[in-house]
Amino acid sequence: MRLHILGICGTFMGSLAQLAKQLGHDVSGSDAGVYPPMSDQLAAAGIELSEGFDPATIPENTDLVIIGNAMSRGNPAVEYILDRGLPYMSGPQWLGQMVLNGRWVLAVSGTHGKTTTSSMLAWILEYAGMKPGFLIGGVPQNFSVSARIGDSPFFVIEADEYDTAFFDKRSKFVHYQPRTLILNNLEFDHADIFPDLAAIERQFHYMIRTVPSTGQLVLPAGEEALERVLAQGCWTPAVRFSEQPGEDWQWTLEAADASVFRITNASADISATVSWQLTGLHNVRNAVAAMLAARHVGVEPQIAAEALGQFASVKRRMERVADHHGICVYDDFAHHPTAIATTLQGAKKRMQAENTGGRILAVLEPRSNTMKLGIHKHELAASVDDADVVFWFQPDNMDWSLNDVAAAGRSPAQVFTDHESLLAAVLKQAQPGDHIIVMSNGGFAAMPERIATALQGTY
């Protein structure tokens, strides 16, 4: 079948394109902007890309157009498709019908940690010899690709709550029909499409309704929003975990920076210890959820612990891109105050454990739609408390100022409106032993790489 994908360079649609190619379809696509790592993956897969949304980029012999959720009415390609009555479908619907149908779907949902947890879960199954398929909103470094069909009934998918398409305003994950479902956490986000947290909880409940009674839910204990979701109706057994005793599973730190931890079941007859490269409590919670989901398909915690010992994380999740003369530069996807705070807390704990000294320089671009609307602006200042120096970048299309955030923070902070001035300020401040953590959910003018290159020329 000849498929053309509108919005192909997004993490979800680009991964879907690779799955379609692996299934033998002839795939092309178009998008307004292209940047790595997805552009590199698409090129490696031999998928033809076009810049922009000129209808002429849609091949005449196209059998089906798959439309990404960034597309809207008024887009010239969308109007062309509707005017001519061309067959079209959303990405999640195509995925549900053509890839997930008939498979054992392990879905990972939640406001934070979906990509990392999905990557952990896929790697655990791979390590156990189960050859899963997967679609992940990032590039797991154990696999080097964000999606593959796999060679077993099992398929791991990052279950995003964002809406499906301009013609289907349900969350993407209602199309996936998981049998094993991780509910990592739930906070208010995506303020451009959801009016409040209750609206997001309702979408999560729609997903819960699709999980069979022979399936399993995995969630942390004490998450009020998730408990409200389950209280709306739940027909599936739920396994809960916590740092405190009394739940189905308990996790315990054996190293202050969380580089070693142990999980134990309530009857204390099963336990496993994980010693790995990652740090931070958020990653422990992600890992425990992945281990318990894997157990539902037959992978015991001891095997999962071995797998996590070889887990190489995900691109743009505290990915070290350079180490020049003792100055480390990291690229991270954090863009919500909770994610920013946990990322910096984890980095600080590791530095303290290693006793290497140095400072944390946080470089942030708050560019998500929720941030642009100012929903979390009062939480931003506290989110960077663990940084020693903070550099904020003010996007052009943000109609509120970051100056108040900078002034309210515990650490010295500056606000910049152009990339060159920001780069110069970071370079002036950086000293041997420092850790520069760049956080954005977009391209950020390749800031991590630019800092790394400039440092190489400076020292």
Smallest CA-to-CA distance from 256 within 279, 222, 226 is with 279
Assess whether pLDDT exceeds 50 at residue 430. yes
Number of Cβ within a 10 Å radius of residue 106: 30
Write out pLDDT tens, residues 44-75.
889 988 889 999 999 989 999 999 999 999 99
Under the banding of pLDDT at 50, 70 and 90, the label for residue 188 is confident
Under the banding of pLDDT at 50, 70 and 90, the label for residue 21 is very high
- Confidence at residue 348, expressed as pLDDT on a 0 to 100 scale: 86
Assess whether pLDDT exceeds 70 at residue 287. yes
pTM of the model: 0.80
The pLDDT of 287-301, averaged and rounded, is 98
The pLDDT of 8-23, averaged and rounded, is 93
For residue 122, which amino acid is it?
A
Assess whether pLDDT exceeds 70 at residue 187. yes
Smallest CA-to-CA distance from 39 within 354, 343, 443, 345 is with 443
Under the banding of pLDDT at 50, 70 and 90, the label for residue 381 is confident
**Mean pLDDT for all residues in the chain:** 91
- Confidence at residue 244, expressed as pLDDT on a 0 to 100 scale: 92
Assess whether pLDDT exceeds 50 at residue 459. no
Write out pLDDT tens, residues 84-130.
999 999 999 999 999 999 999 999 999 888 999 999 999 999 999 99
Assess whether pLDDT exceeds 90 at residue 338. no
Domains of the chain and CATH, by start: 2-90 (3.40.50.720), 102-308 (3.40.1190.10), 319-458 (3.90.190.20)
- Confidence at residue 458, expressed as pLDDT on a 0 to 100 scale: 59
